[in-house]
Chain A
Amino acid sequence: MTSIALKSFLGLRQSSPETTHFSYRPKPSTHRRKFTVVAGISSPKLDGRNLRVAVIGGGPAGGAAAETLAKGGVETFLIERKMDNCKPCGGAIPLCMVGEFDLPLDIIDRRVTKMKMISPSNVAVDIGRTLKPHEYIGMVRREVLDDYLRNRAKDNGANIINGLFLKMDIPKEKNSPYVLHYSSYDGKTGGVGEKCTLEVDAVIGADGANSRVAKSIDAGDYEYAIAFQERIKIPDDKMAYYEDLAEMYVGDDVSPDFYGWVFPKCDHVAVGTGTVTHKGDIKKFQLATRKRAEDKILGGKIIRVEAHPIPEHPRPRRLSGRVALVGDAAGYVTKCSGEGIYFAAKSGRMCAEEIVKGSANGKRMVEEGDLRKYLEKWDKTYWPTYKVLDILQKVFYRSNPAREAFVEMCADEYVQKMTFDSYLYKTVVPGNPLEDIKLAINTIGSLVRANALRREMDKLNV
């Protein structure tokens, strides 16, 4: 059964030309899988205690992982320094997350049902007209969501440690524990933490973009985009407009490879932009974003300025021994939309599920092969989503004419329906082939027209 799953997985990835370096890949990996299954059965039973797993980082990924682990009978330690950290984050979650993670409705501040896409020549397109009455994009505050998920993990029996993870010692021998070093701040109000150590059998690194866990397993780096965001409190009459509406601005002035946004938050709006290629110019892009939204946010006061890196692709190594990375630490943020909360929580849960399964509910030791299953499953489930968004970004964010065409395309109801369905439910529903062909022709038409205009513009000297 597992080998079948693996086969289709490899088939999926072969769509890209293989380099000679890993052309020998299929054979060793099947060997690996066999080895894993045998070892999994014969892995030693733990006596006198349950499996101990440490989750580093208390964001959505860490919270979801800790909850699943604790539920599965694993002795769980969650280490997080800032329990009430108000993180710089867009805070959009898809509808399916509410159901899958059983989130209470009151943690959702706003329900966005309308999106406005605004092209470089200021053509504004409303998307979201196809949404059904119960469908929406939830906007949450991260401090609320994170706290809720952590508390739920705690209720299920996870030990929450207020501490700063420093480093870990990787064991030389098989099955001996990892030793984590952290400074504990439990029961203290300030000052320096108390140096503590903790022995665990496996580690889940959910500590974000600057992950220390990733550093200690030498996971390598990823390209990152820098996102810049200002929280602006705007007058009530202007805020009414953003009641259930989010805006996306595209254009070379706003960002050469991403988009600028205005997202409604609990009682203010977040205005921001991001880029990978021109990080030094981010302030300029931010000014341009503000300029493009000027009429709608006039009179606003900036209450907070924040910036953060967004991973562009997974780290070269997401797993080593009994240490696995999830969420932003692993680099699971989509291109094009820059979405990550759902994928973080989902990857945390998936990783924890594999640990619970591999350890027979905490009764046996786990090993690398058990954790590998999580990676396999993850890539198999979400690789197409990531790839599609990557293609979209490459095709439509590459130049102003492409962006004009993108906005024109988004005016189409069929496109809106498909986009929202895949965003809200994270499943790619096959569309109507006739509509697909129509869409393809229209899109190519838009692209050709916009590029033709572009050529004219280049001739002009205004």
Chain B
Amino acid sequence: MSTTISMASFSPLTPISTTHSSHSRPHPHNNLFTLTLTPKNLSFFTLSPLRVSAGTSDSPETAVEPPPQNISVGTNGSASAVTAAEEVKVSNGFLDPRWVAGTWDLMQFRKNGTTDWDAVIDAEARRRKWLETNPESSNNDSPVVFDTSIVPWWAWIKRFHLPEAELLNGRAAMIGFFMTYLVDSLTGVGLVDQMNNFFCKTLLFVAVGGVLLIRKNEDVDTFKKLLEETTFYDKQWQATWQDENSSNSNK
């Protein structure tokens, strides 16, 4: 984060300062505080809370934790009026009887003597979805220790690949068959001979790779976009050297 800009030069960036007037207002004051932040400059710290509290009276969300009497506003509009901070966390946090000490209690996922991994995947998907809409404060006392890698690889394959595998297999076989037919009809090289031919082997790999990569029509666009994205930064850097050429050709 080592960018240099003075407070004065921040002013052109109006999108922020206009929409959040409570923040733009303190900025002119900052020029007063050109003191260094060394501890001996106590005046800085004694002054600044005043300034902030002035801002917070307009928009309560600027304070991390406002004074206890209006804590309910401070915790981002979680309306529950609170006496103990502990309670807020429990009522706000993700709750599931199977979620124990930051991980899924695998004993509760047992079905017929084995762990039902499908249910674990479902549960984790549900938890992540929940967290996306209700972001939770990270906490060091109750860390999340669940790791998706504890779900064995075959559980993922069974669930996500097998339903598609039949389709992909069929598609690969069809394409392979027609390519063989085409090559045969064009060159007269039979199926067995094709297997010994380098060019035909390459074609085989292209067919299999293509089937695996391009599963839907949209995939083609995605790859095109990816290619553009990867070269975009290069172009931004090369701009300097383009300039050199044009200035040279002008001379």
Contact = CB atoms under 8 A, between A and B. Distances in A.
> Is the pairing of A and B real?
yes
A60 B136 CA distance: 38
Contact of A88 (B5, B149, B235): B5
A287 B7 CA distance: 22
9 contacts: A86-B35, A87-B4, A121-B131, A234-B64, A280-B19, A295-B140, A303-B44, A317-B239, A333-B3
B135 A300 contact: no
A195 interface: no
A227 B65 contact: no
Contacts of B129: 457, 460, 462
Interface string B1-23: 11111110110110110011001
Given A89-B2, A338-B1, A299 B65 contact: yes
A57 interface: yes
Q: Is the interface of A mostly helix, strand, loop or mixed?
A: mixed
Nearest to B12: A210
A241 interface: yes
A338 B45 CA distance: 29
B164 to A, nearest CB: 11
Interface stretch (B119-127, B176-184, B186-194): B119-127
Given A291-B137, A308-B10, A25 B37 contact: no
B231 interface: yes
B91 interface: no
Contact of B3 (A29, A309, A342, A448): A309
B241 A390 contact: no
Contacts of A462: 126, 129-130, 133
Interface of A: 13, 15-17, 19, 21-22, 24-25, 28-29, 31-32, 57, 59-60, 81-82, 84-92, 118, 120-124, 141-144, 208-210, 220, 222-223, 226-229, 232-234, 241, 249, 251-253, 261, 263, 265-267, 272, 274, 279-280, 282-283, 287-288, 290-319, 327-328, 333, 335, 338-342, 344, 372, 375, 379, 383, 386-387, 390-391, 394, 400, 404, 408, 445-446, 448-450, 452-453, 455-457, 460, 462
Enumerate the 4 nearest inter-chain pairs by beta-carbon distance, A residue then B residue, closest first: A90-B1, A341-B2, A456-B125, A313-B236
B75 interface: yes
B141 to A, nearest CB: 8
B48 interface: yes
Contacts of B113: none
B231 A17 contact: yes
Contacts of B84: none
Given A86-B33, A287-B76, A304-B48, A227 B1 contact: yes
B10 A22 contact: no
A316 B4 contact: no
Contacts of A310: 1, 3
A327 B139 CA distance: 38
Contacts of A265: 37
B237 A313 contact: yes
A449 B155 CA distance: 11
B80 interface: no
Interface stretch (B104-112, B197-205, B207-215, B243-251): B243-251
A316 B13 contact: no
A290 to B, nearest CB: 6
Contacts of A408: 147-149
A283 B19 contact: yes
A55 B188 CA distance: 75
B128 interface: yes
A447 to B, nearest CB: 11
A383 B237 contact: yes
A453 B3 contact: no
Given A25-B245, A210-B12, A298-B64, A457 B125 contact: yes
Given A122-B136, A143-B37, A453-B128, A394 B229 contact: yes
Given A141-B37, A304-B30, A400-B132, 10 more contacts: A28-B245, A29-B241, A82-B6, A82-B34, A85-B34, A209-B5, A209-B9, A292-B137, A310-B1, A457-B128
Interface of B: 1-7, 9-10, 12-13, 15-16, 19-20, 23, 26-27, 30, 33-39, 44-45, 48-49, 52, 61-65, 75-76, 85, 89, 121-122, 124-133, 135-140, 143-149, 151, 153, 156, 159-160, 229-231, 233-245, 248-249
Given A92-B1, A208-B4, A317-B243, A301 B64 contact: yes
Contacts of A290: 64
Contact of B146 (A123, A223, A308, A452): A123
B156 A449 contact: yes
B153 to A, nearest CB: 8
Contacts of A17: 231
A309 B241 contact: no
Nearest to A89: B2
A109 to B, nearest CB: 9
Contacts of A450: 148
Contact of A303 (B1, B49, B121): B49
Contacts of B19: 280, 283
Contact of B38 (A266, A301, A338, A449): A266
Contacts of B126: 457, 460, 462
B37 A86 contact: yes
Contacts of B48: 303-304
B16 A282 contact: yes
Contacts of B44: 303
Nearest to B145: A123
A123 B147 contact: yes
A139 B218 CA distance: 46
A71 to B, nearest CB: 23
B93 to A, nearest CB: 10
B217 to A, nearest CB: 18
Contacts of A208: 3-6, 9
